[in-house]
Structure 1
């Protein structure tokens, strides 16, 4: 990641959404901020090409959903849009995908208002993963599939800053010689990746798991489904098991900066890479950012 611009949003009553620009290397977040000390906050990352944001509305919708789950103040959509667009406008045209990460924390411990900012950056080039595919392992997430309903305080389905478990899963994948992870519930339901959504192809139908399993609504997956549907492909949201992944004709992990990355190996077994569907989805995703 190459940071390019930082815009801090004043979320105090007096600040009324005032936006200030900073050097991304400048220290602007206090060490007593609960986002730093507790991971108590939320975020989203939006892909940008040519100054155009992909799926801004759905990302803001998900941001608001996460805020509600964490009992944070309702984000002022106009203020956040201004901050995000300012960060996007500072991203130059580049072969690498641009992106904006926007964050709201609970603020300084003992304080009265949240902290907010938007960071514009260039992400890693995903072309290699799109062309060659990725190696993936399945890992037990340690929760039942219905944890979002039985234990909402565990915040499954919120995009929070508490990413230690997700990063640990990535390190475990690396130890197993893989690039990424698909989480599975303790009772064998396919969930999502640490920062991605699963798509499986069964014949001429694309399938992704439902958000009722405590997973994030995939903004990139939704756009990929729109692209597939425009070409006559049937799409379906339904529960999947690890056995279904083995039986699928092809698999992908989708995320904002990577697009649709085909899976070429799952738990050590080679998988067929569907180059045609991969190109179809990514061509449409890239066009949406221009």
Structure 2
């Protein structure tokens, strides 16, 4: 079994017959040409994606990721994806990967070739980076102004702030800026001082016994890992809440985490150069849950 697999997918309409799904995707060599020069995903970042963690042969929370892919497609006015088709492609890819270890499986749906007749889609899975140090020892984080005030997404929906688009240049620039400042990651703030999210993660805080995350809005991508953790916390008797979080509450938290599908839960040990309380035992418990099979 190889550590990587790439499937090109012929996207079906959402209501199409799904009796012969295998005929709609095929494996290609990752070194072989696969996209045309006119492809809008590479020319303009005009498309959407999801990244699913695969742990010991199990794709974590496939359906929540596909539901979010569908929501992103609606926001971006792309054809609605056929979810059974994507589920079948994911199952095919996972079956081709080694049965042990952690992998990152990326789904991409693009507007296709300019003036072309149909969207382009593919799936690529590869072994995940080793995030053991981030999970065990935590990460240093800086806050960065996202440049938008609260309510911008509602006033300007064409900014596509609630969609997981391929236009990630700003997010990657934020990570580079964090590293220039001696940190590992960043947390975006609104221009009027409220917590949003990380460039590739969701923010979770704990004050006393209450766990909180920024209230869902059109400006924040609702994280699948954050949702799963809140379900876990609720079933284990802990209080959770969605609310507007001013930056002061970030600074005074008893603990804070950035959570995502592949790195999982990374505790914040330093914020803007100042130490943050870090709960190693609680972080291990969160990651033990996130590494368990989850649908």
Smaller-chain TM-score range? over 0.9
Q: Is the 8 A contact 2:103 2:126 kept in 1?
A: yes
1:160 aligns with one of 149, 159, 165: 165
What stretches of structure 1 of length at least 5 have no aligned partner?
Answer: none
**Which stretch of structure 1 is more off in the superposition, 213-222 or 110-119?**
213-222
Asked if 1:66 corresponds to 2:63, the answer is no
Q: Is the 8 A contact 1:90 1:120 kept in 2?
A: no
- State the alpha-carbon separation in 2 of the partners of residues 12 and 65 from structure 1: 17
- State the alpha-carbon separation in 2 of the partners of residues 281 and 112 from structure 1: 45
SS at match of 2:259: strand
- The alpha-carbon deviation at position 84 of structure 1 amounts to 1.6
1:230 aligns with one of 235, 255, 258: 235
Asked if 1:146 corresponds to 2:154, the answer is no
Asked if 1:220 corresponds to 2:225, the answer is yes
Asked if 1:287 corresponds to 2:287, the answer is no
SS at match of 1:89: helix
1:104 aligns with one of 109, 116, 120: 109
Provide the TM-score with structure 2 as the length reference. 0.93
Q: Per-residue displacement from partner, 1:168-227 (whole Å, max 9, x unpaired)?
A: 001100100010010000111100001100000000111001221511111011111222
1:199 is matched with: 204
SS at match of 1:113: coil
SS at match of 1:245: helix
- State the alpha-carbon separation in 2 of the partners of residues 31 and 275 from structure 1: 48
2:125 is matched with: 120
Q: Per-residue displacement from partner, 1:86-117 (whole Å, max 9, x unpaired)?
A: 1222221344x212100000000110110001
2:98 is matched with: 92
Q: What is the aligned length?
A: 288
**Which stretch of structure 1 is more off in the superposition, 119-128 or 12-21?**
12-21
- State the alpha-carbon separation in 1 of the partners of residues 246 and 33 from structure 2: 45
1:260 is matched with: 265
Provide the TM-score with structure 1 as the length reference. 0.95
Asked if 1:78 corresponds to 2:79, the answer is no
After the TM superposition, list the runs of 4 or more consecutive aligned residues in structure 1 that deviate by more than 4 angstroms. 12-17
